[in-house]
Amino acid sequence: MGSNELVLANQNTGSMPENRIITGTGADLSLIPDESATMFYDRASERWRVIATTGA
């Protein structure tokens, strides 16, 4: 366990298309320790989609 923030970049063009994440807000998603994000892989768009966040 660390104390650093984790940033999930929305549609990061530096990543392979099939590894990109759609956060649902159009902006990057920051998670602090004890927070989590639930994602599913959308085959139609070939992207990971954030469907929920929980935590601190």
Rounded to a whole number of angstroms, the CA Rg of the chain reads 12
- Per-residue pLDDT band for 1 (boundaries 50, 70, 90) equals low
> What is the band of 55 on the pLDDT scale with cuts at 50, 70, 90?
confident
Q: Would you call 17 helix, strand, or coil by DSSP?
A: helix
Which residue type, as a one-letter code, is found at position 54? T
Q: State the amino acid at position 40 in one-letter form.
A: F
3-35 pLDDT, tens digit each: 899 999 999 999 999 999 999 999 999 999 999
If we measure between CA atoms, which residue out of 48, 46, 47, 45 comes closest to residue 37?
A: 48
Q: Is the pTM of this model over 0.75?
A: yes
For residues 55 and 52, which has the higher predicted lDDT (pLDDT)?
A: 52
